[in-house]
A = this chain, B = another copy of it.
């Protein structure tokens, strides 16, 4: 069995890196804080006798050899980056649980048949450069490395520059090599498990999503002298589009998701009618067809609203993930582990994107969810119990062992 106290202590130690006054974590990807998180993780890996490699996207791989090292490894992991006002567990749980799996294998003197590898993926959150699951996307060949590396943050810093700035770039090419399977433990980030008092979510796949980048252009003008009919107020136009996104979400009922999470106003001066708004919006749904319809219709409807106000709208879908089913055998292993260990569980589709979604396009993959308080995530108040962390890690150990020894 894994050591629940050691797991929790390690989680709490990681949570001190980038800790916020409100009890959350600000460990945004490729910042100095992320550098500290990575350094701490590397130290723990070294102390556990693991061999650490990084690839050119900064993805970190910590390997424990097996008896037969010609066999493709069993992979598991998650991400140490966080939202700017994120929680202690989104991502970190899966990485630290992976470390606990390694430590437990050592405690028990187990040599697995196949080697096992723990991964810390770069930029899962997408908050800084506007694309989520960046490191795993390049590794899986879903997005070209050059495209991702030339994305810029709000300060104009590219991914390539940010990687170099914190020394995260490694010698390995960021491409997948044969692997047996990939498992990712993550908090659910939603309310279903808690509501149904289940300990484990057996994740059968992830829903579809599309992210748009948009710029709405009107004309800066004087707030005191520009009459109503002479205004081309880009913020008033954006307000209509924000409410359109919400209506499209609500039209899908409880399964609908539509969010404007990012928006900046130019020139952002109290007495200037805003001339330009840049914003991002995203939609999600378990059904690819719903997302396809939104990709077709939403930009037109938004452009109509803009045009009626004399505003110009540029809008592009920049990130799209199809609904992704996970591997039946890997899912079944999670199911069996829950039964064997006696954890109340249910099958579910992930509402969030995860590195597992990109990995699943090239390697047999499944995910394990644990509950989180009030279903709250991407929030400093995000919270889980030590028991929940322990249960999820126990399942992770179980499926990794099963797969590495088969």
Contact = CB atoms under 8 A, between A and B. Distances in A.
Nearest to A24: B220
- How extensive is the interface on chain A, given as a class? 35 or more
B191 A230 contact: yes
Contact of A376 (B221, B253, B259, B268): B221
A215 to B, nearest CB: 14
A220 B268 contact: no
A28 to B, nearest CB: 9
B273 A262 contact: no
Interface string A54-98: 000000000000000000000000000001110000000000000
A376 B222 CA distance: 7
Contacts of A260: 235-236, 274
Interface stretch (A110-118, A122-130, A160-168): A122-130
Contacts of A85: 220, 266-267, 272, 275
Contacts of A257: 223-224, 226-228
A241 to B, nearest CB: 8
Contact of A379 (B268, B275, B376): B275
Copies in the complex: 2
A225 B352 contact: yes
A267 B127 contact: yes
A209 interface: yes
Interface string A229-272: 11001011011101100100110011111011111111111111
Contact of A280 (B209, B242, B255, B270): B270
A221 B5 CA distance: 29
Contact of A190 (B226, B255, B272, B376): B226
A-B pairs with the 7 shortest C-beta distances?
A190-B225, A225-B351, A127-B269, A239-B239, A223-B259, A239-B242, A270-B280
